[in-house]
Structure 1
């Protein structure tokens, strides 16, 4: 694993690009950990911890900004819509155990393939949105 300085640089870059793209840090963290020879199952299991550390500052920033916007949906604080947050939390709590079981049922090779396909789908969707306007 990299030293503290390089880890801090990786963390800032992953956090910045994750927030900018509106994705979880796992999309960057898993390949980074894999590059440092962390086994795929361990990399996938470790990345949500990084995602939490990335999401909290982003969440607080979105809460603190956007107060002056007019026409926001009800129950919105800053840029954060509280019912949407509740739905995301509930959905995550229901689907994470399923994802964990699925990941552990796969071999490391197949887990890498599934992760790569997921990243390609996310990238394709972002490209589609960028081209469609």
Structure 2
């Protein structure tokens, strides 16, 4: 009787694991480096994903780490084999290095996925070229002595 019960438990566990796969969100990449971007000009990157699981995936939220990042995402269910997106726009107001995240919440196998945006905000091009160009030295006029003979 114990052997039959043990066999039943093993078969139940195998069957449950085989049919338990949910939707699987597989992003092409989970981080993006903008490099150097100009201050005051927002930049956007679209993270694309594929549902590689067996059930539809629904993204319920995409929460940025701060107010300087605005997310948008596929609002409808993404069927198995189909593609979806999470688009993140960074404001680029503050100068310097940045590293921001967008937390994606879904009904997928991984309920939370962290997408990363990084880069460096630099001065606008006009300010960069003005700062890079050296200021010319004032012209010095030489007095030429006239000699009479």
Q: Which has the higher strand share?
A: 2
**Fold-level similarity (TM above 0.5):** no
- Scaled by the length of structure 1, what TM-score is found? 0.26
Q: Which has the higher helix share?
A: 1
TM-score normalised by structure 2 residue count? 0.24
